């Protein structure tokens, strides 16, 4: 019985999805995007429309600032890219579930 409970618990953990922060990634066309790259670089290099985008307010440098968050699906990975002042400031990824 304990082995069955342990197996169910282990299987449930493997289906959890969480975002991992990174400093760069390769686009579907093999181009590299990194923190600090411009919004124009993002648009040119990723060469696809975002799956979603949203505007959020961030506390950046002690000030409330508007940022745009873009979600892109590339293969089996979803990349979430935060842009502030037309620069990439954060890149997160997670596997599609």
CATH number of the domain residue 53 falls in:
3.30.1450
Q: Which domain holds residue 60?
A: 19-95
Asked if residue 64 is part of any domain, the answer here is: yes
25 with 45: CB under 8 angstroms?
A: no
Read off the pLDDT of residues 9-23 as tens digits, 9 standing for 90 and up.
554 544 455 789 999
Q: Structurally, how many domains does the chain consist of?
A: 1
Residue 71 confidence (pLDDT) = 97
The pTM assigned to this predicted structure is 0.80
| 8 A C-beta contact, residue 93 and residue 77 | yes
Q: How confident is the model at residue 30 (pLDDT cuts 50, 70, 90)?
A: very high
Is 66 inside any structural domain?
yes
């Amino acid at each position: 019985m304990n082995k069955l409970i342990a197996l169910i618990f282990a299987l449930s953990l493997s289906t959890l999805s969480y975002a991992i922060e990174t400093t760069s990634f390769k686009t579907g066309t093999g181009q590299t995007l990194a923190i600090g790259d411009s919004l124009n670089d993002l648009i040119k290099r990723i060469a696809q429309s975002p799956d979603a985008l949203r505007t959020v307010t961030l506390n950046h440098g002690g000030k409330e600032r508007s940022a745009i968050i873009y979600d892109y699906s590339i293969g089996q990975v979803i990349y979430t890219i935060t842009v502030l002042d037309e620069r990439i400031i954060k890149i997160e990824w997670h596997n599609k579930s």
